[in-house]
A and B are shown apart, each in its own frame.
Chain A
Amino acid sequence: MTSTSSRWAFGSARWLWLLGCIAVIAVLPLIFQDSYWRGVMTICAINIMLALGLDFIFGYAGQLSLGHSAFSGIGAYTSTVLVTALGVNFWIAALCGIGAGGLAGVLLSVFAVRLKGHYLAIASLGFAVITYQILVNWISVTQGPLGIYGIPSPPPLTIPGVVTISFADQQNFFYLVAGAAVLSYLMLYNLTRSPIGDALIAVREDEISAASLGIRGTKWKVVAFGIGCAIAGLAGCFYASFIGTLVPDAFFILESFMLLAMVVIGGRGNLWGAVLGAVLLTVVPELLRGIGDFRLITYGLALTLVALFLPGGLSGVLIQFARRFGGGARGALSAKGPSHA
């Protein structure tokens, strides 16, 4: 590494990457003018947020959660019910959605801290099934399987005398969600580069050794679930107001498997891997739509093959590639992926 600054510094190469990403986000809706692709891009940004949160929990803290979609569902329903039934302002409702997602994550982690591996996987699956059934059966609040219709888009933001940004406009909505995705990334990036990230990784690699260094696994698992699920809650709020309708099926366990596929295929323990996975698994199936709806078959096959042959996912392959052919990209492609035993 040529950088002499401490690992805390957000080095100049990283500023360039960030500016590049923002430029790409700014240009994308100008290139893709039709509402179909703008919709795909917005869903993609939502999926990126979900995959980032799951990667924080699974990739960094090493807790295999099979119920991540439940947390976005909790966020989505919390904010939507507040907006449609109680007339609460969207932005306040979104904060409540974030809080509800995070709280639910902490609630699950109360069970999770005592469990690991397969037990946690099944517990989180059970949590997702309970959430789904509550959404279906609590008809007085959630309208059950019929769903909630006509969810308004977020109210316009007005800076008096300067500008009014309407989120009924697809382009502005995309900027809003993409901005939230970038902020989520930056927050998680800084967290994972901080001592908190080291603590999480220590817990992931060997909880007993971590405990002998004074790192409390219990505490850090709760932190990871709380943060990862709060982001999922926010993604859920955006999803609801973007789609305009909310049905429990959008948060069924199959959706959790899709999120897991994004993280695993992109490469876990590597935030930009999660982004890569989310983009690939959102956009490629749309491109393949012409040859029939093979979306889920592709997901399943890709998930199996990557889990079998590429433990580091696609980002792991890219990192190896970069290490072999030149050091220039090393700074940007640094990874703290799990040790794949």
Chain B
Amino acid sequence: MLDLLPIFAQQIINGLVLGSIYVLATLGLTLIFGVLGQINFAHADFMTLGAFAAYFVARATGGNYLIAIVAALLVGALLGSIINGTIFSPLRNADETRPLVATIGVSVLLENTTLAFLGPVPYAFDSPYSSQVIRMAGLFFTAQNLLVVVIAVLAVGSLYAFMKLTFVGKALRALAQDREAAGLMGINQKQLIALTFVIASAFAGLAGAMLGPILVLTPFAGASVIVKAFAIVIIGGFGNIEGTIVAGLLIGLIESFTTQFLSPGMSDIVVFGLLLLTLAFRPTGLIAERREENV
């Protein structure tokens, strides 16, 4: 019998890398839901556009991946600001399904416009780190994989520091707890909500720049990740950042293990089965924080 231990260890590494991508993809969704109680369905396409922005900038600058990452961040931030201004801000006091439906439309629109311009053939986005393979004790991963994990840790860390240490972060948390009371304390809701969208969507752009070289870069790259990202947001508890991180890594691990030991298609069934079980038995998510809000 083959020794299973290296396979296990390798799958744990793969799972953590995939989980880090999921965490990056979900942070923005969680942030928007936590502060605003809304879902931006076009988040996936912000990732895709971030990935393409990174791809084209990297090509134009002769493969400078760092500038490409910055470009993806900026594109994400810009898109976030636009979607807030055109959809979430005008529909602030509307029935909560309206912004969701509107962003589903935006998502379909963006995906197919990208498809019309860039075509369905996958783009080969080679980050300079993709080809550097690091071998350690029989395990291997690329420098890009390592970079993804590092960036995810940095992103989570800076979001934490921002939320806990800065005054604006404190104001955002106040807004998430009670929008009216926060308003009465002189917090400018409009500006803060706009800022939330900019930060959240910049994370989407960043996630795109990270997953571009790892997954297949097509106009549907973001969409292939986003449905799982929604599952992660719920399993982690809507709007709960700690829960999102735990759930993101967990789903990454589940996916890499089911792909190794069962089949790639099974991973979706396991992940979404877990989602439905969570909703049925623990709708507040793995780490309960905001009780009684979803029932």
Contacts and interface: CB of A to CB of B under 8 A. Distances in A.
A217 to B, nearest CB: 11
Contact of B98 (A123, A136, A260, A307): A307
Contacts of B33: 118
A304 B110 CA distance: 11
Interface in A104-129: 110-111, 114-119, 121-123, 125-127, 129
A133 B268 contact: yes
Interface stretch (B10-18, B64-72, B145-153, B274-282): B274-282
Interface residues of A, number: 44
A300 B108 contact: yes
Nearest to B228: A129
Contacts of B279: 111, 114-115, 119, 123
| Most chain A beta-carbon contacts within 10 A, residue among B87, B101, B109 | B101
B286 interface: no
Interface string B88-118: 0011011111111111111111111100100
Given A129-B272, A133-B268, A137-B263, A115 B295 contact: yes
A110 B268 CA distance: 21
Nearest to B116: A297
Contact count band on B: 35 or more
A311 interface: yes
Given A130-B273, A311-B94, A264 B101 contact: yes
A307 B107 CA distance: 13
B231 interface: yes
A237 to B, nearest CB: 25
Contacts of B113: 297
A302 interface: yes
B161 interface: no
B50 to A, nearest CB: 19
Given A114-B280, A119-B294, A307-B101, A130 B106 contact: no
7 contacts: A114-B279, A115-B279, A118-B238, A123-B279, A257-B104, A261-B108, A297-B112
Interface of B: 33, 37-39, 86-87, 90-91, 93-113, 116, 227, 230-231, 233-234, 238, 263, 265-266, 268-269, 272-273, 275-276, 279-280, 283, 294-295
Interface of A: 64, 66, 110-111, 114-119, 121-123, 125-127, 129-130, 133-134, 136-137, 253-254, 257, 260-261, 264, 294, 296-297, 299-305, 307-308, 311, 338, 340-341
Q: Which 9 A-B pairs have the closest CB atoms?
A: A300-B109, A303-B105, A300-B108, A304-B105, A307-B102, A296-B112, A137-B265, A126-B272, A307-B101
